[in-house]
């Protein structure tokens, strides 16, 4: 399945008359950590369903966990127009609610799977779409396998979503681009801020970025480098073992010539003995200028260590969940792709596909041309894709131009929020709440 | 001095011919913590200087600290057009660099003051503008006093700037509006994120906001409350003594009915014995899901305390310096006012005023109408303005509608950044660097 003009267009239209072609209903769930554009995928699914004449579009309230409690909503109780879809796309965090729940293996849990298919049959649901990361793709795999072995009619399709960008088979994952844009933008602003003091002693600013196993998000800090920004001085990804002594030496050397040193670190950095840096504990009661004991997290630990071992002034910043929910800075490119994978997943299900995840293929990076495809879910589920080691350079302290070339297209453009009183407006489920 | 059409207009024009009227030169310095719009004030000063025909516009590189090292730049080495001014306004953090340096008293330090006036005389500088918070206004006070008592010709004017919003005499401070907009926007996104998990146990999210003595920034969290957002559940300002037991009880009660509880706390919260909450130290080895020891800062401490004492899931977020440097979310209203106070300060100096700080007066909040005035710097320097106690309601756990009415106009509009490759562009001093 390749990209079509219809799906790529994000111009909305009001739903057509219902019940045009399809007999079965559809259900969509959102799972795992939210992103700034996860609801664009939902918008794509809704649009494709309207186009195909799906009679009822159900939503799992809080993912498969809510589904198992039969907490199922009729999406058209909340979303009935192109205008709703546009606002939905500008709404961060899972509109339907999410969960972290992995289905147990089929063997030994047949009752649970029977229950799931009973719930589906009761509502005449033929199309089951699930939007998430690795664990969510495992859900699709299990359900698709069960359906095949038990001669069930339902089609199961996975829609990729993760700021971590660690799903295999796809060039990249929807959600990553917006997180990368947030990280690069904020990094640029933080570097400027840190550079503003120039007379006193150097300040070492350590910024902690999400990504426990894969360094994609931390690598995005490098995107801040441009003619008007020096970028971070060092970038540490979890793909490479972290050498604390070497780190301290590099900081010392940088501080010899620079008043401002900014370092991006992944929350998942590990030392040679396999310990997370954030588990290394306290540094001799180091207290910052404001009386903060700097003990929590990777960046906080390293900042206090720097001060203790070098006497340099240090501070730390944790981007925390703003990385995944800052819709006010959502990337247009990312939002469009998130919409498209949702649209394509629904369309593929309607065409009879099952047990697959939609993927993004990049035919050309400059100019950027992407198409959509799908892969057997067995090749996707539970596999983590990391940053290629040859993209990590300078003895594990920076990322290469290959990474920059790879990631730059993902942060282009901005989805301008609808605003009122100077703040973004979001679509919520408070308008109508109608359990079936 | 009241607002004039000329100054309120932010449309730029290229500099007129130099040397039209003024004989003396001007110097401007930026001081203290940067803001998202501090450079708008610089733009206002430059525009007014162009208009008045000032021959040379000098900048202190790194504030008065750099000035004392004679690190002085010619601003027109970097900024020569209306286009430059527009980009300058979109550039966060002090363009000229900043410092935290308070001049010592005149008495006993006459040599230092003589040196300052020698530097000024050497460059024929007649107008000295300083843009900052309380300490910076103290600098203006000392210099203006010295000039008066020593029959010096120089005029000294203060331009208010602080995200903390704690300067007296002015209705509010430039820089505050953009920080408030960042806080309110991020809070809205964080609340949505925290609400997305609905089946499992409640999550208590504690957000730490800047402001050691005054709660203005933390109060801005309340601006997130709207028809599409419940707002934070509790808001704690440093103006009120923090009662830990009462806090825990309130969290327990909220968690009985809500799956998501979001609480805004000031970094400056103190307990009855006068101790900062962030100084209370560790909570019995509490470790979060990712192995983080949650020990640093007010929010981190309270989050770990909540989990320890209630068993509830908790997490913390620190907005950190993004509050003051997120120019990508700068408020239009704030940026315009920052420009205007810079413009008025320069104009007032040209008209012979000295030893004063420009202030913003609000004649009407709805519709919002502001004018500009100025006050004797002796009434301003070293005085901190806090949130009125009668604006803090619900036993010190929320802010009143009076606050909302006060602050809402400050976050209106957005200064859209100029972008390249999906990221904001900033003006830097790397283009030309020409020490005099």
Distance, CA of B37 to CA of B339 (rounded, Å): 8
pLDDT digits (tens, 9 = 90+) for B240-257: 999 999 999 999 999 999
The better pLDDT of the pair B392, B434 is held by B392
- Kind of pairing between the strands at B234-236 and B260-266: parallel
Q: Vertex B301, ends B297 and B304: CA angle to 5°?
A: 145
The better pLDDT of the pair B9, B361 is held by B361
Q: Chain A partners of B97 at a C-beta cutoff of 8 Å? A: 195-198
Q: Is residue B272 within 8 angstroms of chain A, CB to CB?
A: no
Is the torsion defined by CA of A303, A304, A306, A307 positive or negative? positive
What's the pLDDT score for residue B3?
A: 37
Q: Please give the distance of CA B264 from its chain centroid, rounded to a whole number.
A: 19
Mutate to test the interface with B, among A293, A418, A431 (most CBs of B within 10 A): A293
What's the pLDDT score for residue A281?
A: 66
Q: Say whether pLDDT at B4 is over 70.
A: no
What's the pLDDT score for residue B15?
A: 52
Closest-CA residue of chain A to B299 = A292
Mutate to test the interface with A, among B333, B423, B431 (most CBs of A within 10 A): B423
Q: Please give the distance of CA B334 from its chain centroid, rounded to a whole number.
A: 10
Residues of chain A whose pLDDT is less than 70?
A: 1-22, 281-296, 431-436
What's the pLDDT score for residue B288?
A: 38
pLDDT digits (tens, 9 = 90+) for A121-137: 999 999 999 999 988 99
* Average per-residue pLDDT for chain A: 90
Neighbours of B367 (CB within 10 A): 7
Q: Say whether pLDDT at B289 is over 70.
A: no
Q: Which of A227, A295, A327 lies nearest to residue B296, judging by beta carbons? A: A295
Answer yes or no: A376 catalytic: no
What's the pLDDT score for residue A4?
A: 37
What's the pLDDT score for residue B178?
A: 98
* Average per-residue pLDDT for chain B: 90
- Across the interface, whether the CB atoms of B425 and A228 are under 8 A apart is answered yes
> What dihedral angle (degrees, nearest 10) is formed by the CA atoms of B338, B430, A189, B138?
-40
Q: Is residue A102 within 8 angstroms of chain B, CB to CB?
A: no
Residue B104 sits at φ, ψ, to 5 deg, of -70, 165
Q: Which residue has the tokens 């008359």?
A: A17
Min Cα–Cα distance to chain B from A22, Å: 31
Cis amide prior to A423 (ω within 30 degrees): no
B206 in Cβ contact with B306 (< 8 Å):
yes
pLDDT digits (tens, 9 = 90+) for B358-411: 999 999 999 999 999 999 999 887 789 999 999 999 999 999 999 999 999 999
What's the pLDDT score for residue B251?
A: 98
Q: Which of residues 61-90 of A touch B (CB under 8 A)?
A: 61-62, 65-66, 69, 71
What's the pLDDT score for residue B435?
A: 39
CA nearest neighbour of A178 among A134, A220, A211: A220
pLDDT digits (tens, 9 = 90+) for A312-346: 999 999 998 899 999 999 999 999 999 999 999 99
pLDDT digits (tens, 9 = 90+) for B137-175: 999 999 999 999 999 999 999 999 999 999 999 999 999
| Catalytic choice (B135, B138, B164, B233) | B164
Min Cα–Cα distance to chain B from A151, Å: 31
CA nearest neighbour of A196 among B33, B27, B323, B102: B33
A&B contacts, CB < 8 Å: 233
- Across the interface, whether the CB atoms of B65 and A200 are under 8 A apart is answered yes
**Is 0.95 topped by the overall pTM?**
no
Reported residue count of chain B is 436
Q: Is residue A420 within 8 angstroms of chain B, CB to CB?
A: yes
B429 in Cβ contact with B75 (< 8 Å):
no
Give me the interface pTM, i.e. the ipTM: 0.92
DSSP conformation letters of A304-318: HHHHHHH--EEEEEE
Show the tokens assigned to B115.
């040196």
């Amino acid at each position: 399945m390749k990209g079509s003009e219809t799906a790529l267009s994000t111009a909305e239209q009001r739903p057509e008359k219902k019940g045009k072609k399809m007999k079965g209903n559809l259900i969509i769930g959102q799972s795992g950590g939210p992103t700034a554009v996860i609801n664009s995928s939902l918008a794509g699914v809704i649009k494709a369903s309207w186009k195909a004449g799906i009679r009822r579009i159900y939503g799992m309230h809080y993912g498969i966990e809510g589904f198992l409690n039969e907490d199922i909503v009729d999406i058209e109780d909340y979303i009935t127009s192109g205008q709703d879809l546009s606002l939905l796309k500008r709404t961060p965090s899972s509109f339907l609610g999410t969960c972290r729940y992995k289905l147990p293996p089929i063997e030994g849990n047949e009752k649970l799977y029977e229950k799931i298919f009973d719930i589906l049959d009761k509502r005449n649901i033929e199309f089951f779409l699930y939007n998430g990361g690795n664990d969510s793709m495992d859900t699709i795999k299990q359900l698709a396998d069960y359906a095949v072995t038990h001669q069930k009619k339902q089609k199961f399709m996975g829609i990729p979503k993760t700021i971590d960008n660690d799903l295999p088979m796809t060039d990249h994952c929807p959600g990553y681009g917006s997180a990368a844009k947030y990280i690069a933008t904020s990094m640029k602003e933080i570097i400027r801020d840190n550079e503003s003091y120039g007379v006193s002693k150097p300040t070492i600013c350590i910024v902690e970025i999400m990504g426990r196993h894969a360094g994609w998000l931390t690598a995005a800090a490098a995107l801040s480098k441009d003619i008007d920004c020096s970028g971070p001085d060092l970038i540490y990804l979890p793909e490479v073992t972290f050498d604390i002594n070497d780190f301290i030496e590099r900081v010392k050397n940088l501080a010899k010539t620079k008043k401002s040193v900014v370092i991006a670190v992944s929350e998942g950095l590990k030392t040679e003995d396999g310990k997370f840096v954030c588990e290394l504990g306290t540094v001799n009661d180091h207290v910052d200028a404001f009386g903060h004991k700097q003990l929590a997290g990777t960046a906080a630990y390293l900042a206090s260590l720097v001060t203790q071992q070098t006497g340099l002034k240090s501070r730390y910043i944790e981007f925390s969940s703003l990385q995944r929910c800052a819709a006010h800075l959502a990337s247009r490119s990312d939002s469009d792709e998130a919409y498209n994978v949702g649209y394509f997943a629904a369309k593929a299900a309607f065409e009879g596909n099952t047990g697959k995840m939609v993927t993004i293929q990049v035919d050309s990076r400059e100019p950027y041309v992407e198409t959509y495809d799908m892969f057997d879910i067995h090749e996707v589920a539970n596999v983590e894709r990391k940053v290629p080691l040859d993209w990590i350079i300078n003895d594990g302290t920076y990322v290469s131009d290959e990474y920059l070339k790879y990631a730059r297209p993902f942060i282009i453009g901005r989805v301008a929020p609808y605003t009122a009183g100077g703040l973004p407006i979001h679509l919520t489920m408070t308008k109508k709440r109608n359990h079936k």
